Amino acid sequence: MSSNEPVPGRYRHYKGGEYEVIGTARHSETDELLVVYRPLYNATGLWVRPRHVPRNGRPQRRDRPALRVPRTEPLMNTLIGTLAAVRRAIEQVAATSATVLVLGETGTGKELVARAVHESSRRARGPFVPVNCGAMSPALVEAELFGHEVGAFTGATRQRIGRFEQAHGGTLFLDEVGELAADVQVRFLRVLQERTIDRLGGEGRPIRVDVRIVAATNRDLGALVRAERFREDLFYRLNVFPIRLPALRERRDDIPSLATHFLKHFAHLHGRSVAVVPPRALRVLAGHDWPGNVRELQNVIERAVIVSEGGELAIDPEWLTFAAPAETARTWSEQEKARILAALRATNGRVYGPGGAAHRLGLKPTTLYGKMRKHGLKRDADWA
């Protein structure tokens, strides 16, 4: 690398944000300097990156605006309505290094809270690494979290950096932490205690990591502890600062403000002229139980913005006929399984895409697959 090439590290972008150079190369024909970089977000949510890097390694100034990518809006601003207590809790804990446990049903915004904690903390310039514990293969979960060396197991042909090392200096978000296997719980407890990890096949060489843990679950960890399916000592390590998110059915008064918020966001994102949520649409929304919580509401509003003509939001009540089963004496797990089965039957087993089972439930496809494995739903015959 010549002296006029940028050394890997963070650089200030002329638009006010930052990017991180992670490598350089030269074009084989033009000899132009190419930069491999990781874009970073600035305080206004803009994704800023150099448009061109000449030979001196400095971004060339141009008047083209930074690229705005679809991402969650300024995070604390999205915690609207009756979530003042949640916002206050985030403000209190963000300035510390305490472990946070976010509790709430699927779709209530647990990752949103985790990101808000990260972006409000001193670690905001560091990485935020989300991990869905329920979507990872049980056989590979240790390699995903802790990494591995060459030859650690069959097929390990190169070294892999685990999620803990990726999150060094930042925040590691463990979603669905209640799905961790017992042997992984033991190793995870050690990391929390000693702040060191061992890569698989690493011959016992500990690697120190500086990571803030934010965990989340939609399960009752206390019940799992009593059933001896979750380690009690790990539970107390995680439950330092719990934040509980209410289900949308518990905060129905927030539906109008949430609907308006999502309407403005998606109308701008998709270039639509829809600007008003009429009373008839609000009545339709208020009459739904929202088993997928805020994520389901967000999906419904986005769909309505896309299909609405004119300035008023049009919502077809048929979109909401997929309601939660009537409350019975069944356990929450049984109700969740019934909702998943109903969605798979309604979509002929299709999980991905608009109108797929994940979209109907207000879930990410990977999350839905994790829940399907948890409930033993593996074959078409299970939902035929």
**Which DSSP string do the residues of 54-119 spell out, in sequence order?**
-TTS-PPP-SPPPBP-S---SHHHHS-TTTHHHHHHHHHHHTS---EEEE--TTS-HHHHHHHHHH
249-382, CATH topology level: Helicase, Ruva Protein; domain 3 (1.10.8)
Query: Among 20-24, 144-148, 234-238, which stretch is predicted with the lowest mean pLDDT?
Result: 20-24
pLDDT tens digits for 115-138?
999 999 999 999 999 998 887 776
pLDDT at 91: 92
For 343-383, how does the pLDDT look when each residue is reduced to its tens digit (9 = 90+)?
888 888 888 888 888 888 878 888 888 888 888 887 565 66
Looking at the predicted structure, is the pLDDT value of residue 56 above 80?
A: no
CATH class assigned to 1-69: mainly beta
The pLDDT-based confidence of 98 (bands split at 50, 70, 90) is very high
Q: Is the pLDDT of residue 334 over 80?
A: no
170 pLDDT above the threshold of 60 = yes
Residue 221 has pLDDT above 90, yes or no: yes
Among 76-80, 138-142, 236-240, 361-365, the range scoring the smallest mean pLDDT is 76-80
Tens digits of residue pLDDT in 293-308: 999 999 999 999 999 9
State how far Cα 29 lies from the chain centre.
41
pLDDT for the residue numbered 380? 64
Q: Give the Cα separation of 190 and 202 in Å (integer).
A: 16
Which pLDDT does position 114 carry in this prediction? 94
Which of 46-55, 200-209, 222-231, 317-326 is predicted least confidently?
46-55
How many angstroms separate the most distant Cα atoms in the chain?
71
pLDDT band at residue 92 under the 50/70/90 scheme? very high
Who has greater pLDDT, 151 or 197?
Answer: 197
Closest CA to 122 of 77, 163, 170, 167: 170
> Domain locations in the chain?
1-69, 75-244, 249-382
End-to-end CA distance of the chain: 60
Across the chain, what does the average pLDDT equal?
77
At residue 142, the pLDDT reads: 78
What pLDDT was estimated at residue 23?
53
The rounded distance, in Å, linking the Cα atoms of 50 and 68 is: 14
- Scan for tokens 């977000």, then name that residue: 41
pLDDT, average across residues 200-213: 83
What span, in angstroms and rounded, lies between the C-alpha atoms of 132 and 372? 14
Say what the pLDDT of residue 48 is: 41
For 91, 123, 186, 359, 367, the CA distances from 364, given in Å and listed in that order, are 28, 27, 28, 7, 5
The per-type count for the chain, helices as H runs and strands as E runs, is: 14, 11
What percentage of the chain reaches a pLDDT higher than 70? 74
73-to-45, 112, 338 alpha-carbon distances in Å = 7, 10, 33
Report the residue count for the chain: 384
Residue 62 corresponds to which amino acid? R
The pLDDT of residue 24: 53
Right CATH number for 75-244 from 3.40.50.720, 3.40.50.2300, 3.30.1180.20, 3.40.50.300? 3.40.50.300
Tokens of 319: 């979109």
* Number of other CB atoms surrounding residue 223 within 10 Å: 11
pLDDT digits (tens, 9 = 90+) for 245-291: 999 999 999 999 999 999 998 999 899 899 999 999 999 998 888 98
Q: Which residues contact 3 (CB under 8 A, 6 or more apart)?
A: none
Mean pLDDT of 159-177: 90
If you average pLDDT over residues 162-171, what whole number do you get? 90
pLDDT at 60 over 60: no
Please state the rounded mean pLDDT for residues 80-99. 89
